[in-house]
Amino acid sequence: MHTLDLAPIESERLLVFGGPYGNLEAVKALFAEAEKLGIAAEHIICTGDIMAYCADPLETAYFIRNKDIRIIQGNCEQALAEASEECGCGFAEGSSCDMLSKSWFSYCASQINTDLKEWFTTLPMYLRFRFGSKNFVVVHGSPRDISEFVFASDPEEQLKDHIRQADTDCIIGGHSGLPFTKVLHDKCWHNPGVLGMPANDATPRTWYSLMTQVDDGIVFEHKSLSYPAMAAQAKMNEAGLPQVYAQALTSGLWPSLDILPQSETLQTGVSLIEQKIEWGIS
């Protein structure tokens, strides 16, 4: 599997996001924020899944490609490039998520062209880089499985095993849709959340993160993003995409909790707060 090794990143700050999901309105809002913050394209990282639930898969993919940021392959890019009949998200067969995915994935497959399929195959599966005094690996699901769901409530030893497998100090992961940072002594797991869908917290906001070098460590900032969710919702309805996902853009609640562990399920409807988490700072 292709790993892209970057040179040490000298910037003081990085912007990280996941799951654009074909939500062009959210993606444009994010890049407007990046411009305000003065963050250059080479210091922006995406954990994959450009195309998924929302109505502008083609436009979103071209918008992101033209920005020339750092991005890895998500399971959706992999499945679309291989002309698979399913998204490869790792949903349990026959679950609500599995059944609903057939509609939005079919829509994405109908929109994609050869040019984008070829681009998807060139995207790395993993990124490696050094930032400050720490080594990072960017994955979509986990180091062993592109569609493995990893959550904050997972056992610490399981997270540490993943980090050991990746031979790094910190993993930046995506796929699960919920933002979190788990500091594990000298190791860390960071998920910036996704842009294309809310975080099941009963608000239409979506999430990204900023990473800042401070002394010998890193500060992770979980940041919310407000954008024209009703416009994105209207496009989904017009395209005939699953209404329950269109509703989720404004309700902020997922239509199914199939993938969530009990701890995350119990947080349904609890509004997330922006927060800063320090790691490795003496």
* 56 vs 244: CA distance, rounded Å: 17
Query: Does pLDDT of 1 surpass 60?
Result: no
The mean of the pLDDT values for the chain is 95
Higher-confidence residue: 97 or 270?
270
100 band by pLDDT with thresholds 50, 70 and 90: confident
Query: Does pLDDT of 114 surpass 70?
Result: yes
Q: Determine the pLDDT at residue 97.
A: 74
Pairing of β 180-184 and β 126-131: unpaired
138 CB burial (10 A radius; 0-12, 13-18, 19+) = buried
Domains and CATH numbers, the chain: 3-279 (3.60.21.10)
183 band by pLDDT with thresholds 50, 70 and 90: very high
Q: Determine the pLDDT at residue 198.
A: 98
Percent share of the chain, pLDDT over 90: 87
Summarised one tens digit per residue, pLDDT across range 24-75 is 999 999 999 999 999 999 999 999 999 999 999 999 999 999 999 999 999 9
Strand intervals (E) in 56-176:
70-71, 126-131, 134-138, 170-172
* 228 vs 207: CA distance, rounded Å: 14
Q: Determine the pLDDT at residue 99.
A: 79
* 74 vs 179: CA distance, rounded Å: 17
CA angle 179, 189, 98 (to 5 degrees): 55
What is residue 209's three-state secondary structure? strand
Question: Does the predicted model carry a pTM greater than 0.85?
Answer: yes
